[in-house]
Structure formats: C-alpha cells, structure tokens
C-alpha cells in the first residue's frame, strides 16, 4: 500500500486502551488484563498524544496529518512520513484498527 | 504560524 492509499484510511482506537495525560505526558494503559496483571504501560510525547486524540474512527489519516501541520512547526513531508510510521507502530501494538 | 515546536511522535513501552 502506498502512502496516498494509507493516508486515505480511517483509524479507530481500540476500546481496551485507556489514555491519560499526566504531567504533560500521555500514558496509554492496556486494560485487557486485571490490574495486577498489567505488564506494561506506554508513554507518548506531545505530538504522539495529539495524534492519539485525533484518531476518532472518522478522520482519514490525511486529515490528521493536516491537523498536525496546523498545530506544530513541521513541514508537510515530515509530518506525513512521521504519521505513517507512527500509525503503523500503533497497528503493530494493536492499539488502533482501520475502519 | 501559535504553532508549537515539533518533535517526531514517539511511543515508549514502560515495563512494570
């Protein structure tokens, strides 16, 4: 799948992932297990947290890219490449799925 | 051009 096709996809968050913003950092907690069985949590920086907030099951990835360009000092090319890489990482963790 | 400084989106696993 090329980048144009990938950017046309819509992504939704997995409902089993809880996110919180704590002291300026975004934390993701998978809640598939009991509290005592959680082995890992995930920490994200500001740009990653903003992308996570924008993933709503309705926006296409290209719309998320444009929102990031509008909010951060980043070129279109860099924002696009980073977004695709980040979304693929979230897919690998099973934190998001395409809808 | 309220735009915030950009750092590449990054996610890190923290083992408990």
Q: pLDDT tens digits, chain A, 99 residues: what are they?
A: 788 999 999 899 989 998 988 888 789 998 765 666 677 899 999 899 999 999 999 899 999 999 999 999 999 889 999 999 899 889 988 899 898
Q: How many CB pairs under 8 A join A and B?
A: 58
Tell whether A56 is within 8 A of chain B (Cβ).
Answer: no
Q: What secondary structure does DSSP assign to B1-16, as a single string? A: --PBP-----EEEEE-
Which tokens belong to A16? 């089993």
**Would you state the pLDDT for residue A99?**
84
**Would you state the pLDDT for residue A34?**
62
Domain boundaries, chain A: 3-93
A37 to chain B: closest CA residue = B16
**Would you state the pLDDT for residue A32?**
61
């Amino acid at each position: 799948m090329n980048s144009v096709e990938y950017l046309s996809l819509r992504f939704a968050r997995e409902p089993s992932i809880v996110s919180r913003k704590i002291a300026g950092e975004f934390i993701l907690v998978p809640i598939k297990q009991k509290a005592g069985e959680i082995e890992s949590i995930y920490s994200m920086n500001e740009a990653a947290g903003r992308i996570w907030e924008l993933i709503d099951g309705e926006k296409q990835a290209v719309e998320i890219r444009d929102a990031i360009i509008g909010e951060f000092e980043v070129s279109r090319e860099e924002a696009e490449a980073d977004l695709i890489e980040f979304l693929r990482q979230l897919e690998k963790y099973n934190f998001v799925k395409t809808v | 051009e309220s735009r915030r400084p950009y750092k590449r989106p990054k996610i890190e696993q923290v083992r408990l």
